[in-house]
């Protein structure tokens, strides 16, 4: 009597426990009469671990029991991108050094709840938010952390002439302080602010220093509030932060270390070539890495001196076509839908990511706390439907395999930021589109050449955003990179509903409604969310990447061989 | 007599048997066959890229059959990371490489001839100008030019050809100039000038045609170096963009999967080596036939 | 002497022109250094403009060029637009690595190439000679980045003998240096061998032998000294190739030298760093060529007349 009779879930469980290989799963699924294409998503969901943010239960050398924390040593962390100056006001990408150099008023714990950090209590209601700042705090260069300086920070962050994230602050019309209490006034409820105030671009810095350093801010000591100070910024080589000896301590509940940091220094090392990441940790050049390529994960998991954590990343890779482009028909919903239906996301997930990713049919990652599974009825892989929609929209297949309408072939170029994996995905997508008669060429550019090309007139681009507040960031892309269109009104309205939600329940509702509206109108065509894979050596303790925040915190980190 | 050929307009030093007949002779049969094989493979590679109904041969991806080893069913040389047939990818890539190689060689040769003759034959001022242009180009790092061009017109086939040609031609110009300097003292040239034949005509008729052997030899070497150069540029992300196939791109992507599959790396590498060996050998051989005095240094 | 001076003067003009062309090319190409630091679409325009102004990017181009060139001549190499570090520091850090790599490659090339070439010549026709020649031809044919990848595949991935990248220890130097030295080594061996053979049977050696000078002295002292000439001029020609290849090899092995730095700074449009590095590379190449011409002119008077290009 075979163990696997009748229950695909048992098979998947055994796979998760590493007792079966993928091939075995597919074989047994076949015996159960289940098609491989149905098993795929189950396997993929399996690879991204459960959402509670705890370590995924892999047989990958779990951390042995350790003693008391030791002070000292330099923690070398490999990063999968190159660095940009840590500047909460105007910056193109938040890097891991933010968590060491700055702190926010409040923070998310690994379960996603808001907890105190620089503020010891906070309230939110129909007239706005208040934060009660802890007393006696200082900035790293010695100046006192006054409520007035926090007010100044907030006014900088919400100023459209200075900062880059004001759209996330719009309901707030006034920020002042009353003693130690910071008061952010709104005209109506603004629950969504909880998603903004914990992010890197709301981290607290000394505004006087920021103003004084001007364009140089982020390349020298940043005068923030975190447990480390910036001591060396050399993009392409490393970023080094050293322990702040006068750190006033932390009240964050999920930090076990409430005092100064244990580490003497942190050295972040950019490893932009993906194929170098696994070798560098295996040869001991770094103590931790982020995102080795999918094909190296198995080797790393088998290495007993390494601990591998894998969960879904707070990101989404999407393709955007300009909805104002009438020549190429992108203003027509049917054309966008056709593009979306022509893409076999599941195949990309299983072959390029080897299952270490999830197909996304809506704008947010599938394991987000407020993910709406209803989006999965849209954007499914269906080449017949894609062809049909294009025919309906007037795009007829030409003799050379490219669709034509009014003499215009459906051919366009997509810009992308250079990245090995994303390039492969776009190549695969380009072929899938060619099968339905759409000719898409890809141009991969370095950031200096890519960002200037990104405007609301760009015909097509692809991008992966990484941000812990997905509704905000997706709305930002729609706002900046699509022209303002009447057709997008449902999306704008859905965002307003999100921003004016009265309580957490309404916030969740608004988030879910936003997703379905988005999946229907597809101003951005979502493709996949990859798993983020963090690997560290056994002698690193307390380094806890979690699923609620972009990067780990450094207060608890110590080295056993310090 | 030396003057007579000048009067009759025939370039001096022309062989009794004609250039073509020298090249395609029994002694060279192996090289001729080899060149034909190379050219046909390259032509096939270009054809399958240009004819829409044939594109599927190298573009057809099969995401369920990625990285299959050589000697798999349907795929003699295996598949790459997107499930495309590696054999057809290599042939198509070879087509791209040869097209680029020939394009670069032609461009370099034309530029080199013009500047080299200009400098060698048209007086001291012209020579000074030509020298400066050549030397400035010579000292310019090719990678810089490639990145700048890639920024300008976007990385593409044209960018690669331009970047490689603009860095290559200077070396050729130097050789041409040296040759012209010695040729211009020869009797036939002086005779032509005495007779009032315009310099341009002399350049084209006599100088250029005497330079043909050198040019042929160097063109062959140039094709080899451009093929390598293109692969190198594509490797750095500055070359032809997918889906245009390229040996450099196959190599570069293959590197990511090097721990499990050696064939996307080794096979294009081996192909490159074979082509380069062949072209260098061909160049050496032609040099022996056409340039016995050894005016051409390979590098 | 006069020739040397004119030749050097000419070299300086060429270097100056390279700087102008580089400057023009960089500023003419699209993309901006700001995008390496900020997201120009979401960042307010006033911030972008302030950033540009503070870095002198709003001055007219000739003024910017003047700032650059006058700075270089007075020893102030400026600061990186991306990291605000002094360019001098960036150059110093990476120059050390490139010098180490190129130097090792050079050592390997001549340290192995000359003796092997001589040995091959001395044992002409033997199996040793044939082996050396075949290996040299074969190595010469392999493009060095193909060699690099194959070496990584075999030595790092499969045999775990050497590391695949980085610059932490001496063993990181071995593969890049060997790969870089491969092509010049094979050329050196061939040229050394040919040149040595030519001189071995020359008249003066016969005279020396007739006078009773021991054979080993004839070979290793006299012949070698004469035969080394072409090898040396080849070496100078190789400098340009070496620099070009070093760039590629550095990127493949993530060796933090000038090559990686140049590629990164060009991609980031960090004008200051790119200009200084290009100028540095061009200076090395042009001065090497000038030096070669001057040396040659001391030997061959015709060179002085012809202007130096052989």
Q: In whole angstroms, what is the distance from residue B235 CA to residue B225 CA?
A: 15
Q: In whole angstroms, what is the distance from residue A182 CA to residue A151 CA?
A: 7
Q: Is residue B43 part of a domain?
A: yes
* CATH value at residue B249: 1.10.3720.10
CB proximity under 8 Å: C 139-168 to B:
140-143, 145-146, 149-150, 152-153, 157
Q: Is residue B24 part of a domain?
A: no
- CB contacts of A295 in chain B (<8 Å) are 256-257, 259-260
Tell me which residues of chain A have a C-beta less than 8 Å from any C-beta of chain C.
Answer: 82, 84-85, 90-93, 160-165, 214-216, 219-220, 233-237, 273, 275-276, 279-280, 283, 285, 445-452, 454-455, 476, 480-481
Looking at residue B3, what is its pLDDT? 38
B21 has a chain A CB within 8 A of its CB: no
Cα C70 versus chain centre, distance: 26
Range of the domain at B276: 31-55+89-290
pLDDT in tens, B102-131: 999 889 888 888 888 888 778 888 888 888
Question: What band does A25 get if pLDDT is binned at 50, 70 and 90?
Answer: low
Share of chain C above pLDDT 70, in %: 85
Give the residue carrying structure tokens 């000697």: B71
Q: Answer yes or no: do A448 and C83 touch at CB < 8 A.
A: no
Average pLDDT (C30-39) is 76
Pairs of CB atoms within 8 A across B/C:
121
- Mutation pick from B58, B63, B261 vs chain A, by most beta carbons of A within 10 Å, is B63
Partner residues linked to A316 by β-bridges = A465
Whether the per-residue pLDDT at C145 is higher than 80: the answer is: no
Average pLDDT (A41-58) is 40
Q: Answer yes or no: do A351 and B257 touch at CB < 8 A.
A: no
H or E element, residue A74: strand A74-79
- Please, what's the largest Cα pairwise distance for chain C? 87
Nearest CA-CA distance, residue B273 and chain A, Å: 24
What token pair was written down for C14?
């060429």
∠ CA C89-C90-C92 to the nearest 5 degrees?
65
Specify whether the CB–CB gap between A118 and A180 falls below 8 A.
no
Whether the per-residue pLDDT at A508 is higher than 90: the answer is: yes
B178 has a chain C CB within 8 A of its CB: yes
Whether the per-residue pLDDT at C192 is higher than 60: the answer is: yes
Burial level of B64, CB count in 10 A (0-12/13-18/19+)? Answer: exposed
As for how many domains chain B has, the answer is 1
Q: For A448, which of C90, C256, C267 is closest by C-beta distance?
A: C267
For residues B277 and A194, the model is more confident at A194
Q: Is residue B117 part of a domain?
A: yes
Q: Is residue B240 part of a domain?
A: yes
What token pair was written down for B145?
């030019």
- Could you tell me where the beta strands, DSSP code E, fall in C132-260? none
Whether the per-residue pLDDT at C21 is higher than 50: the answer is: yes
Question: What band does C168 get if pLDDT is binned at 50, 70 and 90?
Answer: low
Looking at residue B25, what is its pLDDT? 66
Least confident of A102-106, A548-552, C32-36, C61-65: C32-36
Looking at residue A438, what is its pLDDT? 94
Whether pTM > 0.80 for this model: the answer is yes
What token pair was written down for B124?
């001291």
> Average pLDDT, whole number, for chain A?
87
Specify whether the CB–CB gap between A290 and A534 falls below 8 A.
yes
Looking at residue A329, what is its pLDDT? 92
B145 has a chain C CB within 8 A of its CB: yes
Whether the per-residue pLDDT at C310 is higher than 60: the answer is: no
For residues A59 and C96, the model is more confident at C96
Question: What band does A48 get if pLDDT is binned at 50, 70 and 90?
Answer: very low
H or E element, residue A317: strand A315-321
Least confident of A6-10, A117-121, A191-195, C204-208: A6-10
Q: How many CB atoms lie within 10 A of CB B85?
A: 26
Q: Is residue B20 part of a domain?
A: no
Q: Answer yes or no: do A92 and C47 touch at CB < 8 A.
A: no
What token pair was written down for A37?
């294409």
Contacts of C287 by beta carbon, 8 Å cutoff, 6+ apart: C11
> Average pLDDT, whole number, for chain B?
78
Highest mean pLDDT among A363-377, B163-177, C147-161: A363-377
Whether the per-residue pLDDT at B296 is higher than 60: the answer is: no
Closest by CA to A188, choosing from A506, A495, A500, A494, is A500
∠ CA A201-A205-A211 to the nearest 5 degrees?
100
B56 has a chain A CB within 8 A of its CB: no
- Mutation pick from A291, A424, A450, A527 vs chain B, by most beta carbons of B within 10 Å, is A424
Looking at residue B7, what is its pLDDT? 40
Neighbours of chain C (3+ CB pairs under 8 A): A, B
Specify whether the CB–CB gap between B270 and B76 falls below 8 A.
no
DSSP calls for chain B: --HHHHHHTPPTT--SS-HHHHHSSGGGHHHHHHHHHHHHHHHHHHHHHHSGGGTHHHH---TTSTTPPTTBTTBTT-B-TTS-BHHHHHHHHHHHHHHHHHHHHHHHHHHHHHHHHHHHHS-HHHHHHHHHHHHHHHHS-HHHHHHHHHHHH-SSHHHHHHHHHHHHHHHHHHHHHHHHHHHTTSHHHHHHHHTT--HHHHIIIIIIHHHHHHHHHHHHHHHHHHHHHHHHHHHTT-SPPTTS--HHHHHHHHHHTTTT--HHHHHHHHHHHHHHHHHHHHHHHHHHHH-TT------
Q: Which residue of C has its CA nearest to B148?
A: C29
> Parallel, antiparallel, or unpaired for β A172-178 and A315-321?
unpaired
What token pair was written down for C29?
């190409």
Looking at residue A4, what is its pLDDT? 35
Nearest CA-CA distance, residue B2 and chain A, Å: 59
CB proximity under 8 Å: C 277-296 to B:
278, 281-282, 285-286, 289
Q: Is residue B225 part of a domain?
A: yes
Closest by CA to A125, choosing from A88, A162, A171, A86, is A171
For residues C197 and A158, the model is more confident at A158
Q: Answer yes or no: do C40 and A451 touch at CB < 8 A.
A: yes
Q: How many CB atoms lie within 10 A of CB A402?
A: 16
Question: What band does A37 get if pLDDT is binned at 50, 70 and 90?
Answer: very low
Q: Answer yes or no: do C84 and A220 touch at CB < 8 A.
A: yes
Q: Is residue B26 part of a domain?
A: no
| ipTM rounded to 2 decimals | 0.76
- CB contacts of B256 in chain C (<8 Å) are none
Q: For B66, which of A351, A423, A449 is closest by C-beta distance?
A: A351
- CB contacts of B52 in chain A (<8 Å) are 400-401
Q: For A215, which of C31, C54, C261 is closest by C-beta distance?
A: C54
Q: Is residue B270 part of a domain?
A: yes
Looking at residue B261, what is its pLDDT? 84
Q: In whole angstroms, what is the distance from residue B280 CA to residue B60 CA?
A: 34
pLDDT in tens, B227-251: 888 887 887 777 888 788 888 888 8
Closest by CA to B275, choosing from C241, C141, C151, C182, is C141
């Amino acid at each position: 009597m075979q163990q696997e009779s009748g229950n695909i879930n048992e098979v998947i469980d055994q796979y998760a426990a590493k007792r079966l290989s993928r091939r075995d799963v597919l074989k047994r699924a076949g015996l159960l009469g289940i098609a491989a294409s149905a098993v795929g998503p189950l396997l993929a969901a399996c690879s991204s671990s459960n959402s509670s943010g705890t370590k995924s239960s892999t047989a990958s050398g779990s951390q042995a029991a350790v003693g008391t924390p030791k002070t000292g040593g330099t923690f070398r962390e490999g990063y999968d991108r190159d660095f940009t100056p840590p500047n909460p006001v105007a910056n193109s990408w938040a890097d891991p050094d933010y968590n060491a150099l700055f702190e926010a008023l409040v923070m998310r714990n690994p379960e996603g709840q808001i907890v105190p950090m620089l503020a010891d209590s906070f309230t939110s209601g129909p007239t706005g938010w208040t934060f009660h700042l802890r007393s006696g705090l200082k900035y790293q260069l010695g100046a006192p952390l006054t409520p007035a300086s926090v007010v100044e920070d907030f006014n900088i962050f919400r100023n459209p002439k200075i900062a880059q994230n004001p759209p996330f602050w719009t309901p707030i019309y006034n920020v002042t302080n009353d003693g130690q209490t910071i008061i952010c006034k709104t005209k109506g409820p603004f629950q969504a602010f909880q998603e903004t105030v914990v992010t890197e671009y709301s981290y607290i810095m000394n505004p006087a220093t920021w103003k004084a350093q001007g364009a140089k801010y982020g390349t020298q000591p940043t005068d923030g509030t975190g447990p480390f100070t910036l001591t060396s910024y050399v993009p392409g080589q490393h970023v080094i932060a050293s322990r702040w000896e006068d750190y006033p301590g932390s009240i964050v509940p999920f930090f076990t270390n409430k005092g100064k940091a244990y580490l003497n220094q942190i050295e972040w090392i950019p490893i932009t070539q993906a194929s170098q990441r696994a070798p560098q940790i295996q040869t001991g050049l770094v103590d931790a890495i982020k995102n080795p390529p999918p094909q190296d994960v198995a080797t790393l998991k088998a290495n007993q001196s390494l601990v591998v954590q894998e969960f879904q990343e707070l990101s989404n890779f999407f393709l955007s076509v300009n909805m104002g482009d009438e020549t190429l028909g992108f203003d027509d919903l049917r054309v966008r839908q056709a593009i979306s239906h022509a893409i076999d996301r599941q195949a990309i997930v299983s072959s390029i990511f080897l299952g270490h990713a999830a197909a996304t049919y809506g704008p947010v990652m599938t394991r987000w706390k407020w993910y709406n599974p209803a989006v999965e009825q849209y954007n499914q892989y269906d080449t017949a439907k894609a062809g049909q929609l294009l025919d309906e929209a007037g795009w007829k297949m030409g003799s050379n395999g490219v669709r034509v309408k009014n003499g215009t072939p459906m051919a366009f170029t997509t810009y992308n930021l250079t990245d090995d994996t994303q390039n492969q995905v776009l190549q695969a997508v380009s072929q899938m589109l060619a099968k339905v008669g759409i000719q898409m060429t890809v141009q991969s550019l370095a950031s200096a050449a890519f960002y200037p090309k990104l405007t609301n007139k760009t015909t097509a681009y692809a991008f992966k955003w990484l941000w812990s507040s997905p509704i905000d960031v997706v709305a930002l892309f729609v706002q900046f990179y699509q022209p303002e269109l009447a057709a997008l009104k449902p999306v704008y309205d859905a965002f307003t509903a999100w921003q004016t939600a009265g309580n957490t329940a309404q916030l969740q509702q608004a988030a879910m409604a936003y997703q379905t509206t988005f999946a229907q109108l597809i101003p951005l065509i979502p493709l996949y969310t990859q798993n983020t894979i963090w690997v560290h050596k056994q002698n690193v303790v307390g380094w806890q990447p979690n699923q609620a925040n972009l990067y780990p915190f450094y207060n608890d980190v110590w080295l056993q061989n310090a | 007599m030396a003057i007579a050929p000048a009067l009759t307009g025939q370039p001096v030093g022309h062989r009794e048997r004609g250039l073509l007949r020298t090249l395609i002779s029994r002694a060279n049969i192996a090289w001729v066959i080899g060149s034909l094989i190379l050219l046909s493979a390259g032509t096939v590679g270009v054809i399958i890229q240009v004819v829409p109904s044939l594109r599927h041969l190298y573009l057809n991806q099969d995401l369920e059959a990625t990285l299959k080893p050589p000697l798999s069913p349907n795929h003699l040389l295996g598949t790459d990371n997107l499930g495309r047939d590696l054999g057809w990818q290599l042939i198509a890539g070879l087509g791209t490489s040869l097209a680029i190689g020939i394009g670069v060689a032609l461009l370099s040769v034309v530029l080199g001839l013009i500047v080299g003759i200009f400098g060698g034959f048209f007086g001291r001022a012209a020579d000074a100008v030509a020298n400066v242009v050549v030397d400035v180009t010579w000292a310019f790092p090719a990678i810089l030019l490639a990145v700048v061009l890639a920024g300008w017109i976007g990385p593409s086939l044209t960018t690669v050809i331009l970047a490689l040609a603009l860095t290559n031609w200077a070396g050729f110009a130097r050789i041409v100039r040296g040759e012209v300097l010695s040729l211009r003292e020869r009797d036939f040239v002086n005779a032509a000038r005495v007779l009032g034949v315009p310099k341009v005509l002399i350049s084209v008729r006599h100088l250029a045609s005497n330079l043909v052997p050198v040019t042929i030899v160097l063109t062959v070497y140039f094709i080899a170096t451009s093929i390598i150069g293109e692969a190198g540029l594509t490797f750095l992300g500055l070359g032809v963009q997918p889906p245009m196939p390229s040996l450099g791109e196959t190599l570069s992507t293959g590197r990511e999967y090097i721990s499990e599959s050696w064939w996307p790396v080794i096979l294009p590498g081996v192909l490159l080596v074979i082509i380069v060996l062949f072209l260098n050998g061909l160049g050496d051989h032609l040099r022996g036939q056409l340039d016995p005095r050894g005016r051409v240094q390979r590098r | 002497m006069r020739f040397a001076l004119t030749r050097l003067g000419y070299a300086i003009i060429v270097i100056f022109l390279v700087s102008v062309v580089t400057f023009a090319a960089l500023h003419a190409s699209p993309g901006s250094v700001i995008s390496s630091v900020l997201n120009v679409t979401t960042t307010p325009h006033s911030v972008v403009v302030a950033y540009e102004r503070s870095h002198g990017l709003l001055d007219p181009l000739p003024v910017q060029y003047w700032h650059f060139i006058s700075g270089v001549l007075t020893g102030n190499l400026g600061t990186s637009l991306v990291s605000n570090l002094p360019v001098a520091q960036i150059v110093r850090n990476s120059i050390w690595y490139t010098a180490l790599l190129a130097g090792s490659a050079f050592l390997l090339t001549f340290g192995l190439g000359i003796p092997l070439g001589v040995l091959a010549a001395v044992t002409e026709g033997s199996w040793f000679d044939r082996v050396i020649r075949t290996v040299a031809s074969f190595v010469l044919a392999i493009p060095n980045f193909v060699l690099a990848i194959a070496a990584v595949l075999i030595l790092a991935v499969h045999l775990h003998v050497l590391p695949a990248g980085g610059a932490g220890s001496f063993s990181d130097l071995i593969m890049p240096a060997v790969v870089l030295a491969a092509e010049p080594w094979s050329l050196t061996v061939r040229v050394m061998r040919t040149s040595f053979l030519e001189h071995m049977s020359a008249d003066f050696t016969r005279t020396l032998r007739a006078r009773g000078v021991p054979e080993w002295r004839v070979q290793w002292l006299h012949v070698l000294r004469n035969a080394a000439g072409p090898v040396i001029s080849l070496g100078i020609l190789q400098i340009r190739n070496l620099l070009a290849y070093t760039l590629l090899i550095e990127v493949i092995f993530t060796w933090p030298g000038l090559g990686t730095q140049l590629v990164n700074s060009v991609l980031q449009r960090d004008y200051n760093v790119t200009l200084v590095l290009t100028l540095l590379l061009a200076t090395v190449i042009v001065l090497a060529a000038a030096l070669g011409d001057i040396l040659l002119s001391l030997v061959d008077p015709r060179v002085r007349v012809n202007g130096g290009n052989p």
